[in-house]
Structure 1
Amino acid sequence: MSRSIDDSLDFSLVYVDNLNNDVYFSLLHTAIDSKGEGEGPIYNYRPFVAPYFIAFLIVIAFFMVNIFVGFVIVTFQNEGEQEYKNCELDKNQRKCIEFALKARPIRRYIPVKKVQLKIWWFVTSPPFEYAIFSLIMINTVVLAMKYNKQPDNYSKALDYLNIVFTAIFALEFVLKMAAFHFRNYFSDPSNCCDFIIVVGSLIDILYTDIIAPGTNVISINFFRLFRVMRLVKVLSRGEGIRTLLWTFIKSFQALPYVALLIAMLFFIYAVIGMQ
Protein backbone atom coordinates (compact mmCIF):
# COMPACT_ATOMS: atom_id res chain seq x y z
CA MET A 1 0.00 0.00 0.00
CA SER A 2 1.35 3.42 -0.98
CA ARG A 3 0.26 6.64 0.71
CA SER A 4 1.70 10.16 0.79
CA ILE A 5 1.32 11.95 4.13
CA ASP A 6 1.99 15.66 3.73
CA ASP A 7 0.05 17.26 6.59
CA SER A 8 -2.10 16.56 9.64
CA LEU A 9 -5.25 16.20 7.53
CA ASP A 10 -3.65 13.36 5.58
CA PHE A 11 -2.69 11.73 8.85
CA SER A 12 -6.28 12.07 10.09
CA LEU A 13 -7.41 10.13 7.03
CA VAL A 14 -4.80 7.52 7.87
CA TYR A 15 -6.50 6.99 11.22
CA VAL A 16 -9.88 6.61 9.59
CA ASP A 17 -8.36 3.78 7.54
CA ASN A 18 -6.57 2.50 10.62
CA LEU A 19 -9.91 1.69 12.23
CA ASN A 20 -10.58 -0.68 9.34
CA ASN A 21 -8.84 -3.92 10.23
CA ASP A 22 -8.58 -4.88 6.55
CA VAL A 23 -5.97 -2.18 5.89
CA TYR A 24 -4.52 -1.90 9.39
CA PHE A 25 -1.47 -4.08 8.71
CA SER A 26 -0.79 -2.37 5.39
CA LEU A 27 -0.71 1.01 7.12
CA LEU A 28 1.46 -0.39 9.89
CA HIS A 29 4.08 -1.78 7.50
CA THR A 30 3.96 1.39 5.37
CA ALA A 31 4.80 3.48 8.44
CA ILE A 32 7.56 1.08 9.51
CA ASP A 33 9.15 1.15 6.03
CA SER A 34 8.93 4.96 5.65
CA LYS A 35 12.27 6.80 5.68
CA GLY A 36 11.97 10.51 5.14
CA GLU A 37 10.40 13.28 3.10
CA GLY A 38 11.01 12.76 -0.61
CA GLU A 39 12.76 9.40 -0.04
CA GLY A 40 11.65 5.91 -0.91
CA PRO A 41 10.72 3.29 1.68
CA ILE A 42 13.27 0.98 3.27
CA TYR A 43 12.22 -2.34 4.71
CA ASN A 44 11.84 -2.25 8.50
CA TYR A 45 13.45 1.21 8.74
CA ARG A 46 11.37 2.45 11.69
CA PRO A 47 10.20 -0.52 13.81
CA PHE A 48 9.68 1.77 16.80
CA VAL A 49 6.50 3.23 15.24
CA ALA A 50 4.70 -0.12 15.60
CA PRO A 51 3.71 0.45 19.27
CA TYR A 52 2.22 3.79 18.23
CA PHE A 53 -0.24 2.14 15.81
CA ILE A 54 -0.94 -0.75 18.18
CA ALA A 55 -1.71 1.67 21.01
CA PHE A 56 -4.07 3.63 18.75
CA LEU A 57 -5.97 0.50 17.77
CA ILE A 58 -6.32 -0.66 21.36
CA VAL A 59 -7.23 2.72 22.83
CA ILE A 60 -9.61 3.97 20.12
CA ALA A 61 -11.09 0.92 18.43
CA PHE A 62 -11.34 -1.39 21.44
CA PHE A 63 -11.79 0.71 24.56
CA MET A 64 -12.38 4.39 23.90
CA VAL A 65 -15.58 4.11 21.86
CA ASN A 66 -17.24 1.65 24.23
CA ILE A 67 -16.11 3.50 27.33
CA PHE A 68 -17.26 6.79 25.89
CA VAL A 69 -20.70 5.47 24.98
CA GLY A 70 -21.12 3.99 28.45
CA PHE A 71 -19.92 7.20 30.06
CA VAL A 72 -22.35 9.30 28.03
CA ILE A 73 -25.26 7.07 29.03
CA VAL A 74 -24.36 7.13 32.73
CA THR A 75 -23.73 10.89 32.72
CA PHE A 76 -26.98 11.57 30.90
CA GLN A 77 -28.91 9.52 33.43
CA ASN A 78 -27.19 11.20 36.38
CA GLU A 79 -27.82 14.68 35.00
CA GLY A 80 -31.46 13.83 34.57
CA GLU A 81 -31.66 12.70 38.19
CA GLN A 82 -30.04 15.88 39.54
CA GLU A 83 -33.19 17.82 38.79
CA TYR A 84 -35.18 15.58 41.13
CA LYS A 85 -32.63 15.13 43.94
CA ASN A 86 -34.94 16.92 46.41
CA CYS A 87 -38.06 15.14 45.22
CA GLU A 88 -39.71 12.63 47.57
CA LEU A 89 -40.83 10.40 44.69
CA ASP A 90 -38.52 7.76 43.30
CA LYS A 91 -37.75 7.32 39.61
CA ASN A 92 -40.51 4.78 38.91
CA GLN A 93 -43.16 6.91 40.59
CA ARG A 94 -42.11 9.95 38.58
CA LYS A 95 -42.22 7.91 35.38
CA CYS A 96 -45.76 6.77 36.17
CA ILE A 97 -46.92 10.33 36.77
CA GLU A 98 -45.16 11.57 33.63
CA PHE A 99 -46.72 8.80 31.56
CA ALA A 100 -50.18 9.58 32.92
CA LEU A 101 -49.80 13.27 32.08
CA LYS A 102 -48.46 12.71 28.56
CA ALA A 103 -50.62 9.74 27.61
CA ARG A 104 -53.05 10.30 24.77
CA PRO A 105 -55.95 7.89 24.34
CA ILE A 106 -55.82 5.99 21.07
CA ARG A 107 -58.67 6.95 18.79
CA ARG A 108 -60.21 3.82 17.36
CA TYR A 109 -62.69 4.23 14.57
CA ILE A 110 -65.64 1.82 14.69
CA PRO A 111 -68.15 2.11 11.82
CA VAL A 112 -71.90 2.09 12.38
CA LYS A 113 -73.14 0.64 9.10
CA LYS A 114 -73.59 -3.12 9.18
CA VAL A 115 -71.67 -4.02 6.01
CA GLN A 116 -68.86 -1.60 6.78
CA LEU A 117 -68.66 -2.97 10.33
CA LYS A 118 -68.17 -6.52 9.02
CA ILE A 119 -65.37 -5.37 6.72
CA TRP A 120 -63.81 -3.46 9.62
CA TRP A 121 -63.85 -6.54 11.86
CA PHE A 122 -62.25 -8.54 9.06
CA VAL A 123 -59.38 -6.14 8.26
CA THR A 124 -58.59 -5.52 11.96
CA SER A 125 -58.70 -9.17 12.99
CA PRO A 126 -55.41 -10.90 13.96
CA PRO A 127 -55.76 -13.63 11.28
CA PHE A 128 -55.93 -10.97 8.56
CA GLU A 129 -52.88 -9.17 9.96
CA TYR A 130 -50.91 -12.42 10.21
CA ALA A 131 -51.89 -13.35 6.64
CA ILE A 132 -50.69 -10.00 5.27
CA PHE A 133 -47.50 -10.26 7.31
CA SER A 134 -46.85 -13.75 5.89
CA LEU A 135 -47.46 -12.51 2.34
CA ILE A 136 -44.98 -9.67 2.89
CA MET A 137 -42.32 -12.13 4.01
CA ILE A 138 -43.04 -14.46 1.07
CA ASN A 139 -42.85 -11.49 -1.30
CA THR A 140 -39.46 -10.60 0.21
CA VAL A 141 -38.21 -14.13 -0.48
CA VAL A 142 -39.47 -13.90 -4.07
CA LEU A 143 -37.60 -10.61 -4.57
CA ALA A 144 -34.40 -12.33 -3.42
CA MET A 145 -34.82 -15.17 -5.93
CA LYS A 146 -33.44 -13.21 -8.89
CA TYR A 147 -29.99 -14.06 -10.19
CA ASN A 148 -27.77 -13.12 -13.12
CA LYS A 149 -28.55 -14.61 -16.54
CA GLN A 150 -31.75 -16.24 -15.35
CA PRO A 151 -33.99 -17.95 -17.97
CA ASP A 152 -36.80 -15.96 -19.57
CA ASN A 153 -39.45 -18.32 -18.24
CA TYR A 154 -38.06 -17.87 -14.74
CA SER A 155 -38.17 -14.08 -15.12
CA LYS A 156 -41.75 -14.21 -16.36
CA ALA A 157 -42.73 -16.37 -13.40
CA LEU A 158 -41.26 -13.83 -10.99
CA ASP A 159 -43.08 -11.02 -12.82
CA TYR A 160 -46.38 -12.91 -12.53
CA LEU A 161 -45.77 -13.42 -8.82
CA ASN A 162 -45.13 -9.69 -8.48
CA ILE A 163 -48.47 -8.99 -10.16
CA VAL A 164 -50.20 -11.41 -7.76
CA PHE A 165 -48.66 -9.79 -4.70
CA THR A 166 -49.48 -6.31 -6.00
CA ALA A 167 -53.10 -7.36 -6.55
CA ILE A 168 -53.32 -8.76 -3.01
CA PHE A 169 -51.91 -5.60 -1.44
CA ALA A 170 -54.17 -3.47 -3.63
CA LEU A 171 -57.14 -5.54 -2.42
CA GLU A 172 -55.98 -4.93 1.15
CA PHE A 173 -56.02 -1.19 0.43
CA VAL A 174 -59.53 -1.36 -1.04
CA LEU A 175 -60.88 -3.32 1.94
CA LYS A 176 -59.31 -0.95 4.46
CA MET A 177 -60.56 2.07 2.56
CA ALA A 178 -64.06 0.59 2.63
CA ALA A 179 -63.75 -0.12 6.35
CA PHE A 180 -62.21 3.17 7.50
CA HIS A 181 -63.27 5.60 4.75
CA PHE A 182 -60.95 8.25 3.37
CA ARG A 183 -60.39 10.47 6.41
CA ASN A 184 -59.87 7.72 8.99
CA TYR A 185 -57.70 5.66 6.66
CA PHE A 186 -55.21 8.43 5.91
CA SER A 187 -55.11 9.61 9.54
CA ASP A 188 -52.79 6.66 10.22
CA PRO A 189 -49.22 7.26 8.91
CA SER A 190 -48.70 3.53 8.32
CA ASN A 191 -51.74 3.48 6.02
CA CYS A 192 -50.32 6.45 4.09
CA CYS A 193 -47.09 4.51 3.60
CA ASP A 194 -49.05 1.45 2.42
CA PHE A 195 -50.98 3.61 -0.04
CA ILE A 196 -47.79 5.05 -1.55
CA ILE A 197 -46.31 1.56 -1.92
CA VAL A 198 -49.47 0.22 -3.59
CA VAL A 199 -49.68 3.15 -6.03
CA GLY A 200 -45.99 2.85 -6.87
CA SER A 201 -46.32 -0.90 -7.43
CA LEU A 202 -49.30 -0.39 -9.74
CA ILE A 203 -47.36 2.21 -11.74
CA ASP A 204 -44.47 -0.26 -11.91
CA ILE A 205 -46.70 -2.93 -13.45
CA LEU A 206 -48.55 -0.56 -15.79
CA TYR A 207 -45.40 1.10 -17.09
CA THR A 208 -43.05 -1.87 -17.38
CA ASP A 209 -45.49 -4.51 -18.62
CA ILE A 210 -48.39 -2.73 -20.33
CA ILE A 211 -47.82 0.90 -21.36
CA ALA A 212 -44.17 1.03 -22.42
CA PRO A 213 -42.44 -2.34 -22.24
CA GLY A 214 -38.84 -2.24 -23.45
CA THR A 215 -38.56 1.57 -23.44
CA ASN A 216 -36.33 3.78 -21.34
CA VAL A 217 -38.36 6.99 -21.17
CA ILE A 218 -38.40 6.68 -17.37
CA SER A 219 -36.03 4.48 -15.43
CA ILE A 220 -37.77 1.18 -14.75
CA ASN A 221 -35.50 0.56 -11.78
CA PHE A 222 -37.05 3.54 -9.99
CA PHE A 223 -40.50 1.96 -10.01
CA ARG A 224 -39.11 -1.40 -8.99
CA LEU A 225 -37.95 0.17 -5.74
CA PHE A 226 -41.57 0.03 -4.63
CA ARG A 227 -41.37 -3.77 -4.68
CA VAL A 228 -38.60 -3.64 -2.10
CA MET A 229 -40.46 -1.01 -0.07
CA ARG A 230 -43.17 -3.56 0.70
CA LEU A 231 -40.90 -4.80 3.45
CA VAL A 232 -41.53 -1.45 5.17
CA LYS A 233 -45.11 -2.62 5.72
CA VAL A 234 -43.72 -4.97 8.37
CA LEU A 235 -42.92 -1.94 10.54
CA SER A 236 -46.59 -1.05 10.79
CA ARG A 237 -47.46 -4.54 12.00
CA GLY A 238 -44.74 -5.17 14.57
CA GLU A 239 -44.82 -3.14 17.78
CA GLY A 240 -41.40 -4.44 18.83
CA ILE A 241 -39.85 -3.49 15.48
CA ARG A 242 -41.31 0.00 15.65
CA THR A 243 -40.01 0.46 19.20
CA LEU A 244 -36.54 -0.67 18.12
CA LEU A 245 -36.59 1.67 15.11
CA TRP A 246 -37.71 4.61 17.26
CA THR A 247 -34.93 3.91 19.76
CA PHE A 248 -32.42 3.78 16.90
CA ILE A 249 -33.62 7.13 15.55
CA LYS A 250 -33.54 8.79 18.97
CA SER A 251 -29.96 7.61 19.48
CA PHE A 252 -28.88 9.82 16.56
CA GLN A 253 -29.48 12.92 18.70
CA ALA A 254 -26.21 12.31 20.56
CA LEU A 255 -24.31 11.39 17.40
CA PRO A 256 -22.92 14.92 16.65
CA TYR A 257 -21.28 15.12 20.08
CA VAL A 258 -19.78 11.65 19.74
CA ALA A 259 -18.48 12.50 16.26
CA LEU A 260 -17.00 15.77 17.53
CA LEU A 261 -15.04 14.08 20.31
CA ILE A 262 -13.77 11.33 17.99
CA ALA A 263 -12.73 13.98 15.44
CA MET A 264 -10.79 15.80 18.17
CA LEU A 265 -9.02 12.57 19.10
CA PHE A 266 -8.17 11.94 15.44
CA PHE A 267 -6.74 15.45 15.14
CA ILE A 268 -4.63 15.11 18.30
CA TYR A 269 -3.24 11.78 17.12
CA ALA A 270 -2.62 13.23 13.64
CA VAL A 271 -0.61 16.14 15.06
CA ILE A 272 1.41 13.75 17.24
CA GLY A 273 1.99 11.47 14.27
CA MET A 274 3.28 14.32 12.10
CA GLN A 275 5.97 15.03 14.69
Structure 2
Amino acid sequence: MLNSIDPNDLTPLEVDDEFIFKNEVISPMTPGPCLVTGFIHHSRVFLAAIRDPYSKPSAKEPCPCVRTHDLHLQVHFFQDRLDCLRHLLIDIPPCLQLSAPIPNVIGVEGSSIEDIETLQSQFASMRANLHITHIWLQSLILDQLEVAQSHQQRQIPVLGPPGHTGTFDQRALWLYREELCRQLFFILYNFPQSSLEANGLHAANKVRDIASSLLACPFHPGDPIAKRVAEYVQRSTDILSRLDSSEVMNAMHLQTWIDTDRIPK
Protein backbone atom coordinates (compact mmCIF):
# COMPACT_ATOMS: atom_id res chain seq x y z
CA MET A 1 0.00 0.00 0.00
CA LEU A 2 2.82 2.42 0.85
CA ASN A 3 4.26 1.94 -2.64
CA SER A 4 1.00 3.03 -4.25
CA ILE A 5 -0.01 6.13 -2.27
CA ASP A 6 0.99 9.77 -2.31
CA PRO A 7 2.34 10.47 1.19
CA ASN A 8 1.12 14.07 0.98
CA ASP A 9 -2.45 12.74 1.09
CA LEU A 10 -1.78 11.33 4.58
CA THR A 11 0.22 14.23 6.03
CA PRO A 12 -1.73 15.98 8.80
CA LEU A 13 -1.94 19.73 9.24
CA GLU A 14 1.12 21.06 11.01
CA VAL A 15 -0.99 22.34 13.90
CA ASP A 16 -1.21 20.96 17.44
CA ASP A 17 -4.48 19.51 18.70
CA GLU A 18 -5.45 22.45 20.91
CA PHE A 19 -5.82 24.66 17.82
CA ILE A 20 -8.17 22.27 16.00
CA PHE A 21 -11.90 22.65 16.61
CA LYS A 22 -15.00 21.08 15.13
CA ASN A 23 -15.60 23.78 12.52
CA GLU A 24 -12.25 25.53 12.21
CA VAL A 25 -8.50 25.41 12.64
CA ILE A 26 -6.98 28.51 14.17
CA SER A 27 -3.40 29.72 13.98
CA PRO A 28 -1.47 30.06 17.25
CA MET A 29 -0.95 33.66 18.32
CA THR A 30 2.76 33.04 18.82
CA PRO A 31 4.38 30.85 16.13
CA GLY A 32 6.63 28.22 17.65
CA PRO A 33 7.71 24.58 17.46
CA CYS A 34 4.87 22.14 16.90
CA LEU A 35 4.61 18.57 18.18
CA VAL A 36 2.93 17.52 14.93
CA THR A 37 6.12 18.53 13.09
CA GLY A 38 7.92 15.74 14.93
CA PHE A 39 5.19 13.25 14.03
CA ILE A 40 5.41 14.18 10.33
CA HIS A 41 9.20 13.77 10.20
CA HIS A 42 9.07 10.51 12.16
CA SER A 43 6.54 9.11 9.68
CA ARG A 44 8.73 10.32 6.81
CA VAL A 45 11.70 8.39 8.22
CA PHE A 46 9.72 5.14 8.20
CA LEU A 47 8.49 5.79 4.65
CA ALA A 48 12.06 6.50 3.49
CA ALA A 49 13.01 2.94 4.45
CA ILE A 50 10.56 1.75 1.78
CA ARG A 51 10.61 4.45 -0.92
CA ASP A 52 11.47 8.08 -1.59
CA PRO A 53 9.19 10.01 0.80
CA TYR A 54 9.16 13.09 -1.42
CA SER A 55 8.21 11.47 -4.72
CA LYS A 56 4.92 10.24 -6.03
CA PRO A 57 4.36 6.53 -6.72
CA SER A 58 5.77 5.27 -10.00
CA ALA A 59 4.70 2.17 -11.91
CA LYS A 60 8.28 1.90 -13.20
CA GLU A 61 9.64 0.99 -9.78
CA PRO A 62 9.96 -2.80 -9.34
CA CYS A 63 7.67 -4.18 -6.68
CA PRO A 64 9.02 -6.14 -3.67
CA CYS A 65 8.05 -9.46 -5.27
CA VAL A 66 10.17 -8.72 -8.35
CA ARG A 67 13.14 -7.55 -6.27
CA THR A 68 13.05 -10.75 -4.20
CA HIS A 69 13.97 -12.75 -7.31
CA ASP A 70 16.56 -10.32 -8.69
CA LEU A 71 19.60 -9.73 -6.48
CA HIS A 72 20.81 -6.84 -8.61
CA LEU A 73 17.52 -4.98 -8.08
CA GLN A 74 17.51 -5.92 -4.39
CA VAL A 75 21.03 -4.59 -3.78
CA HIS A 76 20.28 -1.41 -5.73
CA PHE A 77 17.08 -0.91 -3.71
CA PHE A 78 18.84 -1.25 -0.33
CA GLN A 79 21.64 1.08 -1.43
CA ASP A 80 19.09 3.70 -2.50
CA ARG A 81 17.20 3.40 0.79
CA LEU A 82 20.39 3.87 2.81
CA ASP A 83 21.43 6.87 0.75
CA CYS A 84 17.99 8.43 1.17
CA LEU A 85 17.90 7.80 4.93
CA ARG A 86 21.44 9.04 5.49
CA HIS A 87 20.59 12.52 4.19
CA LEU A 88 16.94 12.67 5.24
CA LEU A 89 17.32 14.64 8.49
CA ILE A 90 19.89 17.19 7.31
CA ASP A 91 17.38 20.02 6.81
CA ILE A 92 14.81 19.25 9.51
CA PRO A 93 13.64 22.13 11.75
CA PRO A 94 16.24 23.24 14.32
CA CYS A 95 14.08 22.09 17.24
CA LEU A 96 14.32 18.49 15.98
CA GLN A 97 18.01 18.38 15.09
CA LEU A 98 20.27 16.03 17.02
CA SER A 99 22.43 18.74 18.56
CA ALA A 100 19.64 21.25 19.03
CA PRO A 101 19.32 23.04 22.37
CA ILE A 102 16.06 22.74 24.28
CA PRO A 103 13.60 24.79 22.19
CA ASN A 104 12.02 27.88 23.65
CA VAL A 105 8.58 26.32 23.54
CA ILE A 106 5.68 28.71 24.01
CA GLY A 107 2.37 27.01 24.55
CA VAL A 108 -1.18 28.28 24.39
CA GLU A 109 -1.61 31.77 25.79
CA GLY A 110 -1.92 31.54 29.56
CA SER A 111 0.05 28.30 29.85
CA SER A 112 1.69 27.75 33.20
CA ILE A 113 5.40 27.16 33.72
CA GLU A 114 4.59 23.51 34.41
CA ASP A 115 2.77 23.20 31.07
CA ILE A 116 5.70 24.73 29.21
CA GLU A 117 8.18 22.42 30.98
CA THR A 118 5.99 19.44 30.07
CA LEU A 119 5.99 20.52 26.42
CA GLN A 120 9.77 20.90 26.46
CA SER A 121 10.06 17.39 27.92
CA GLN A 122 7.81 16.07 25.15
CA PHE A 123 10.06 17.66 22.54
CA ALA A 124 13.15 16.07 24.09
CA SER A 125 11.64 12.57 24.08
CA MET A 126 10.30 13.10 20.54
CA ARG A 127 13.75 14.14 19.29
CA ALA A 128 15.33 11.08 20.91
CA ASN A 129 12.73 8.79 19.33
CA LEU A 130 13.13 10.38 15.89
CA HIS A 131 16.90 9.96 15.77
CA ILE A 132 17.01 6.49 17.37
CA THR A 133 14.44 5.31 14.81
CA HIS A 134 16.51 6.90 12.02
CA ILE A 135 19.62 4.96 13.11
CA TRP A 136 17.68 1.74 13.75
CA LEU A 137 16.18 1.62 10.25
CA GLN A 138 19.58 2.17 8.65
CA SER A 139 20.95 -0.70 10.74
CA LEU A 140 18.16 -3.03 9.62
CA ILE A 141 18.69 -2.16 5.96
CA LEU A 142 22.44 -2.66 6.35
CA ASP A 143 21.74 -6.20 7.59
CA GLN A 144 19.69 -6.93 4.49
CA LEU A 145 22.15 -5.24 2.14
CA GLU A 146 25.07 -7.24 3.54
CA VAL A 147 23.24 -10.54 3.00
CA ALA A 148 22.06 -9.56 -0.50
CA GLN A 149 25.55 -8.45 -1.55
CA SER A 150 27.16 -11.63 -0.20
CA HIS A 151 24.73 -13.73 -2.22
CA GLN A 152 25.31 -11.57 -5.27
CA GLN A 153 29.07 -11.86 -4.87
CA ARG A 154 28.81 -15.64 -5.03
CA GLN A 155 26.83 -15.32 -8.25
CA ILE A 156 29.12 -12.63 -9.79
CA PRO A 157 32.66 -13.26 -8.47
CA VAL A 158 34.14 -10.53 -10.65
CA LEU A 159 35.77 -7.53 -9.03
CA GLY A 160 35.26 -4.15 -10.63
CA PRO A 161 35.73 -0.48 -9.78
CA PRO A 162 34.38 0.84 -6.45
CA GLY A 163 30.60 0.83 -6.48
CA HIS A 164 30.40 -1.96 -9.08
CA THR A 165 27.55 -4.35 -8.23
CA GLY A 166 29.92 -7.31 -8.38
CA THR A 167 32.12 -5.87 -5.61
CA PHE A 168 31.24 -6.70 -2.03
CA ASP A 169 32.99 -4.11 0.14
CA GLN A 170 32.29 -5.59 3.54
CA ARG A 171 34.64 -3.25 5.37
CA ALA A 172 32.79 -0.21 4.00
CA LEU A 173 29.52 -1.57 5.37
CA TRP A 174 31.04 -2.10 8.80
CA LEU A 175 32.54 1.37 8.85
CA TYR A 176 28.99 2.59 8.19
CA ARG A 177 27.81 0.51 11.17
CA GLU A 178 30.45 2.13 13.34
CA GLU A 179 29.25 5.59 12.37
CA LEU A 180 25.68 4.59 13.29
CA CYS A 181 26.91 3.33 16.67
CA ARG A 182 28.68 6.61 17.37
CA GLN A 183 25.51 8.54 16.54
CA LEU A 184 23.50 6.23 18.79
CA PHE A 185 25.88 6.65 21.73
CA PHE A 186 25.76 10.42 21.31
CA ILE A 187 22.00 10.25 21.86
CA LEU A 188 22.13 7.74 24.70
CA TYR A 189 24.84 9.63 26.61
CA ASN A 190 23.62 13.19 26.00
CA PHE A 191 19.85 12.97 26.27
CA PRO A 192 18.29 12.95 29.76
CA GLN A 193 17.41 9.47 30.99
CA SER A 194 13.81 10.60 31.40
CA SER A 195 13.61 11.50 27.69
CA LEU A 196 14.82 8.03 26.71
CA GLU A 197 12.61 6.17 29.19
CA ALA A 198 9.55 8.09 27.95
CA ASN A 199 9.80 6.11 24.70
CA GLY A 200 9.35 2.85 26.57
CA LEU A 201 10.54 -0.59 25.54
CA HIS A 202 10.35 0.32 21.86
CA ALA A 203 13.46 2.49 22.26
CA ALA A 204 15.24 -0.26 24.23
CA ASN A 205 14.35 -2.82 21.56
CA LYS A 206 15.75 -0.60 18.81
CA VAL A 207 19.01 -0.19 20.72
CA ARG A 208 19.08 -3.98 21.25
CA ASP A 209 18.52 -4.59 17.53
CA ILE A 210 21.44 -2.33 16.60
CA ALA A 211 23.72 -3.95 19.19
CA SER A 212 22.75 -7.51 18.21
CA SER A 213 23.71 -6.85 14.58
CA LEU A 214 27.27 -6.18 15.79
CA LEU A 215 27.54 -9.76 17.04
CA ALA A 216 27.83 -10.93 13.42
CA CYS A 217 31.14 -9.08 12.92
CA PRO A 218 33.01 -11.15 10.28
CA PHE A 219 36.53 -9.87 11.02
CA HIS A 220 39.30 -11.50 13.04
CA PRO A 221 39.27 -10.45 16.74
CA GLY A 222 42.60 -8.70 16.21
CA ASP A 223 41.23 -6.53 13.39
CA PRO A 224 40.78 -2.85 14.42
CA ILE A 225 37.12 -2.96 13.36
CA ALA A 226 36.49 -6.09 15.46
CA LYS A 227 38.13 -4.49 18.51
CA ARG A 228 35.94 -1.39 18.20
CA VAL A 229 32.84 -3.52 17.67
CA ALA A 230 33.58 -5.43 20.89
CA GLU A 231 33.72 -2.10 22.72
CA TYR A 232 30.42 -0.99 21.16
CA VAL A 233 28.74 -4.23 22.26
CA GLN A 234 29.98 -3.72 25.83
CA ARG A 235 28.74 -0.14 25.90
CA SER A 236 25.36 -1.20 24.52
CA THR A 237 25.04 -3.86 27.20
CA ASP A 238 25.72 -1.31 29.93
CA ILE A 239 23.23 1.15 28.44
CA LEU A 240 20.51 -1.48 28.04
CA SER A 241 20.91 -2.56 31.65
CA ARG A 242 19.81 0.96 32.63
CA LEU A 243 17.38 1.65 29.79
CA ASP A 244 15.42 -1.59 30.05
CA SER A 245 14.68 -2.28 33.71
CA SER A 246 11.52 -4.28 33.01
CA GLU A 247 13.27 -7.59 33.77
CA VAL A 248 11.27 -9.07 30.90
CA MET A 249 13.05 -10.20 27.73
CA ASN A 250 10.99 -8.72 24.89
CA ALA A 251 12.27 -10.08 21.58
CA MET A 252 9.31 -9.01 19.47
CA HIS A 253 11.44 -6.67 17.33
CA LEU A 254 14.78 -8.39 17.82
CA GLN A 255 16.62 -9.14 14.59
CA THR A 256 18.40 -12.48 14.33
CA TRP A 257 20.85 -13.94 11.89
CA ILE A 258 18.17 -16.41 10.82
CA ASP A 259 15.73 -13.59 9.97
CA THR A 260 18.20 -11.65 7.86
CA ASP A 261 19.46 -14.75 6.09
CA ARG A 262 16.10 -15.69 4.59
CA ILE A 263 16.67 -13.75 1.37
CA PRO A 264 16.49 -16.32 -1.45
CA LYS A 265 19.85 -17.16 -3.02
Task: Output the TM-score relative to the length of structure 2.
Answer: 0.27
**Of Structure 1 and Structure 2, which has the larger fraction of its residues in helix?**
1
Choose 1 or 2 for highest CA Rg. 1
Higher RCO, Cα 8 Å, sep 6+ = 1
Task: Output the TM-score relative to the length of structure 1.
Answer: 0.26
